[in-house]
Structure 1
């Protein structure tokens, strides 16, 4: 599943690679994400699926 382009732009995150144990390192700027806007516009299910795929 690939999230809509709007979500990829509005809810951007940085994948920084893998740590020494092979686990993904991801930087998520939650303070910049307007989650309320997504939920109030009826896109809660898409947001949750997008977040789960991270």
Structure 2
């Protein structure tokens, strides 16, 4: 799940820019529910480091 979230986030950030991307967009693009993607500090921390 982590890799799919990171890949989806990277794609969306390139496509839309930082201010236009929400976690719900990333979760939807990765095919996961929003709840697990926003409760994992490891995932959100990795997303910030990668962007």
Q: Same fold (TM over 0.5)?
A: no
Bigger fraction of residues in strand: 1
Bigger fraction of residues in helix: 2
Query: Considering only CA atoms, is the larger Rg found in Structure 1 or Structure 2?
Result: 1
- Where relative contact order (Cα < 8 A, 6+ residues apart) is larger, the structure is 2
Q: TM-score, normalised by structure 1?
A: 0.38
Q: TM-score, normalised by structure 2?
A: 0.39
